[in-house]
Amino acid sequence: MKSIGQVKQSLPREFVQKLYERFPTHTAEKILAGYAAERSPSLRANTLKTGIRQLMPELTGQGVKFERVPWYSDALVIKNRREREVERLEAYKAGRLYLQSLSSMIPPLALDPRPGEKVLDMAAAPGSKTTQLAMIMQNQGHILANDANKLRVERLKYNVAVQGAGMVEVNLGDGRTLGGKYPEQFDRVLLDVPCSGEGLFLAGDPRTYRHWSPKEVGKLASLQKKLFSSAFQALKPGGTLVYSTCTLSPEENEMVVDWALGEFAGRLKVAEIPLRIPGARAGGKDFGAATRLRPDVEKALRILPSKLMEGFFVCRFRKTTEIRV
């Protein structure tokens, strides 16, 4: 495992500098240590095809060792296999399990969709969260799973089919246009936006951070606000919207939440996320008073990268019911 000094040398210098500017020293170094860790694979049982109590003995019989996840009964952390080895298992090929990072499982749980509802997954490919939503909804209702990338949409279609998520309609399109096409039509919207991916950096893999730059962060923050506006427009009054990223950048996280609360003042509220995730932090807590964020931003969850978790940010909103005279 690389030392913190070695991790600093691996990552873009400007990123490391910003990390120490954004966070207290002990938090910045905890993040850097997380980048050096070798993360264990994790998966969830696909309850559209099996149950966790059926999957566990199947895996044990094939010599796979695992641990349960205390905050999500359908998830397992694999202790003695790499992802590519899990992909050789019949349970994987048949869609009885889905390889997915633990952090990635949080946004669908936060959205908490119900069977029979109409849900929009605005940036859905490759389908990890889409198929989890279908599983939570017991394949009852309708999910419009959208993505703007043609190649990624093909992967989305494949995963939806293998997982048996028959309630999902896959759409190729620009998420920024969906609010205009489907005004106030969805009970819940999952907006897992394109982001700079700072939560996924691995010190030993330059592919995970080679495209990072402050300019790119700024461009993405602008796109995220446009997607948010579209998601808000598509959401029914009284509906739930979850905004999530796999980055650490406050410009793409807390500041987008703060912007949204100002942009849609009186029509949007931050709601508590009813999950107890070990190590999760309140949004905005690390940045101090100088950032001047609205207090409700603290209801968001920030996950730091570690041996178990990728870095993630999740915020849950409720669209208020407007009284029109």
To which residue do tokens 């992967």 refer?
A: 155
Q: Is 315 assigned a catalytic role?
A: no
**Active-site hit among 32, 143, 156, 246:** 246
Q: What is the distance of C-alpha 314 from the center of its chain? A: 7
Sequence-ordered list of residues with C-beta below 8 angstroms from that of 69, at least 6 positions apart, any chain: 42, 75, 76, 77, 102
95: left (phi over 0), alpha (psi -120 to 50) or beta: left
User: Closest by alpha carbon to 304, among 325, 324, 285?
Assistant: 285
Question: In the sheet where 66-69 sits, what is the strand order?
Answer: 66-69, 72-78, 42-45, 97-99
CA distances from 180 to 176, 185, 186, 313 (A): 8, 10, 13, 27
d(CA 102, CA 111): 15
Alpha-helical runs (H) found in 42-137: 52-61, 83-86, 90-93, 102-111, 128-136
Evaluate whether 142 touches 169 at the Cβ level (below 8 Å). yes
DSSP annotation of 16 reads: H
**Environment class of 90 (CB within 10 Å of its CB; exposed 0-12, middle 13-18, buried 19+):** exposed
Tell me the angle at which helices 13-22 and 25-36 cross, rounded to the nearest 10 degrees.
140
The DSSP code sequence of 234-254 is HEEEEEEEEEEES---TTTTH
Catalytic positions, please?
246
